[in-house]
Amino acid sequence: MGRINTGRVVLGGLVAGVVANALDYVINAYLMAEEGADMAQRLNLSQDVMQSSTYVWVGVDMIWGLLLVFTYAAFRPRFGPGPKTAILSGFTLWFAVCIMFGGLMSMGIFTLPGFIKYSALTLISALAASLAGAAIYQE
């Protein structure tokens, strides 16, 4: 087994983070706008709080991209290089996050329909970001 190419993880992670940010913008600003507004009202969050958290979420998506590519690099010796492994790594991390958000749903932060819709849309984002970042990675 070769060593993980840290430089390529960072480069691929940045690409994956940009893809995740672009898709998450579309998801949150357009496809989940109504659910987001309902959640903010239900949780009594002001528009200022929602706006100021944007920069944090940009950073979260960049770190998410790094984790996606790191996971791909770790899976690659076991499952081989290519899109199948990128999809597996993206799905694995997406599933872990969904488990956590499922716990938040039980607390009333997400509604069941919102959780299902958000989960489906973020699966698309996770897979696209993982595929983009994995395309950059080389050992």
Q: What 3 state SS string does 98-139 have?
A: HHHHHHHHHCCCCCHHHHHHHHHHHHHHHHHHHHHHHHHCCC
The answer on pLDDT for 60 being more than 90 is: yes
**Residue 65 falls inside a structural domain:** yes
The answer on pLDDT for 34 being more than 70 is: yes
The total domain count for the chain is 1
The torsion of the CA quartet 35, 118, 64, 131, rounded to 10 degrees, works out to: -140
**What is the per-residue pLDDT for 47?**
87
The answer on pLDDT for 2 being more than 80 is: no
**Residue 81 falls inside a structural domain:** yes
Structural domain boundaries enclosing 43: 6-136
Q: With beta carbons less than 8 A apart as the criterion, state whether 62 and 16 touch.
A: no
| 84-120 confidence digits (pLDDT tens) | 999 999 999 999 999 999 999 999 999 999 999 999 9
**What is the per-residue pLDDT for 74?**
97
Give SS3 for 15. helix
User: Band of the pLDDT at 1, cuts 50, 70, 90?
Assistant: low
Q: With beta carbons less than 8 A apart as the criterion, state whether 65 and 17 touch.
A: yes
**Residue 79 falls inside a structural domain:** yes
Closest CA to 111 of 12, 13, 40: 40
**Residue 52 falls inside a structural domain:** yes
Q: With beta carbons less than 8 A apart as the criterion, state whether 129 and 64 touch.
A: yes
Average pLDDT over residues 17-24: 98
**Residue 75 falls inside a structural domain:** yes
**Residue 78 falls inside a structural domain:** yes
**Residue 49 falls inside a structural domain:** yes
**Residue 1 falls inside a structural domain:** no
